[in-house]
Amino acid sequence: MSLVSESELEEAVKNYSDPYLSQNLYELKAVKSLTCEKGKVELKIEMPYVCESIMGGMKQLLMTNLEFVEGVESVDVQITSNIAVHKIQNDLKSLANVKNIIAVASGKGGVGKSTTSVNLALALAKEGASVGLLDADIYGPSIGMMMGFPEGTRPETIDNKFFVPLEKHGVQVMSMAFLVTDDTPMIWRGPMVSGALQQLLTQSKWNNLDYLIIDLPPGTGDIQLTLSQKIPVSGSIVVTTPQDIALLDCKKGIEMFRKVNIPVFGVIENMSVHICSECGHHEALFGEGGGERIAQQFDTELLGAMPLHKTIREQTDAGTPTVVAAPDSEVALLFQDIARKVAAKLSQEALDERHAFPNIVVSSD
């Protein structure tokens, strides 16, 4: 039996390029070990972002590459993921038991921001992450209904100080809708809204989250800017439609996040094309290419273009969003792709050095 070349094994691994970051696994520092004993190769990979749905294909490609190396008799590839804590804006204090917060915003209402937030959270959970979802739309909370919680659902409390987030479809959820009735209007001024959201965020006992998705209120006014300055956020997404008026507000959303030093991972364009439920005909009712133009203008990325299809609305209204209601549908797969893109982009942001080392206490005892 011929000796197996270590350099050829490494080269075989390098021949696999990550589809979302366009780097090989050594460049990503994802290779934890590569050993060969008597022709038996063992490769251990630790991905920096969640990607469970593509791990099978990744494993097969790596095995094929390694099996072509002379002298290799068998290959065992093990792939896991490990989510790091990334830097937050302006050195704010991070949230306990939450590694990363991703804010989802829109310049105006009615563009599908909450639907996007819900499906993104569910898609990240399907990719293997521990995920939370916070409905920060104090005036019009809708996440509870979208996630299938009946009216009147209330969270448990701990010592009358902390809320225990409710769980549905594998996602931890908190919303102002759990604290008021559907008929209760929130007639509050800006400072009251900011205070209520801060309280809802910090007094919820999140359980070891990799990602917390925050569905921000629509708009880019004082409330949104204040929240962006006070909530420790690792990155953001802006949702729009192809309409010119929505695109104008999308620009404001991007500028708002950049003003407070929050990375913008990209733009999601909803209602990009209407799909007829009868014949399947595609028609761009609200224009086309707007999201791509905004992404190019602001040096960011179009994360995805979601179709206008009545099943998205029907499934969300029924409390079973598309990602769980029709996991193999075109729309669900688009959301999965967006979730992996967002997770991959976050993995490339600077780490929070405060979590890199344990606290060291020097005592004179």
Q: What's the confidence (pLDDT) of residue 199? A: 82
Q: What's the confidence (pLDDT) of residue 110? A: 78
Q: Is the dihedral of CA 210, 215, 220, 223 positive or negative?
A: negative
How many CB atoms are closer than 10 A to CB 294? Answer: 24
How many CB atoms are closer than 10 A to CB 7? Answer: 8
- Statement: residue 280 has pLDDT above 70: no
Could you give the 3-state DSSP secondary structure of residue 265?
A: strand
Give the pLDDT confidence of 231-270 residue by residue, as tens digits: 899 999 999 887 766 677 788 888 889 988 999 999 999 8
Which residues have C-beta within 8 Å of that of residue 11, sequence separation ≥ 6?
none
Q: What's the confidence (pLDDT) of residue 277? A: 61
28: nearest Cα among 17, 12, 41, 42: 17
Band the pLDDT of 362: cuts 50, 70, 90.
very low
Give the pLDDT confidence of 159-192 residue by residue, as tens digits: 888 889 999 999 999 988 787 665 555 545 556 6
Q: What's the confidence (pLDDT) of residue 65? A: 96
Q: What's the confidence (pLDDT) of residue 191? A: 61
Structural domains of the chain in order of their starting residue, each with its CATH number: 6-81 (3.30.300.130), 89-347 (3.40.50.300)
State the chain's mean pLDDT as an integer.
85
Which residues have C-beta within 8 Å of that of residue 166, sequence separation ≥ 6?
149, 153, 155, 172, 173, 174, 178
- At 257, which helix (H) or strand (E)? helix 244-259
**Cβ proximity of 197 and 227 under 8 Å:** yes
Q: What is the dihedral of CA 182, 223, 303, 356, to 10 degrees?
A: -110
Per DSSP, 350 falls in state P
Q: What's the confidence (pLDDT) of residue 245? A: 67
- Statement: residue 298 has pLDDT above 90: no
Q: What's the confidence (pLDDT) of residue 230? A: 85
Residue 105 backbone class (left: φ over 0; alpha: ψ -120 to 50; beta: rest): beta
Residue with the larger pLDDT of the pair 365 and 33: 33
Residue 255 tokens read as 């500028």
The two counts, helices (H) then strands (E), for the chain are: 11, 15
CA–CA separation, 301 and 134 (whole Å) = 24
Residue with the larger pLDDT of the pair 129 and 4: 129
- Statement: residue 119 has pLDDT above 50: yes
Q: What is the mean pLDDT of residues 273-277?
A: 59
Band the pLDDT of 282: cuts 50, 70, 90.
low
Q: What is the mean pLDDT of residues 60-72?
A: 95
Beta bridge partners of 101: 212
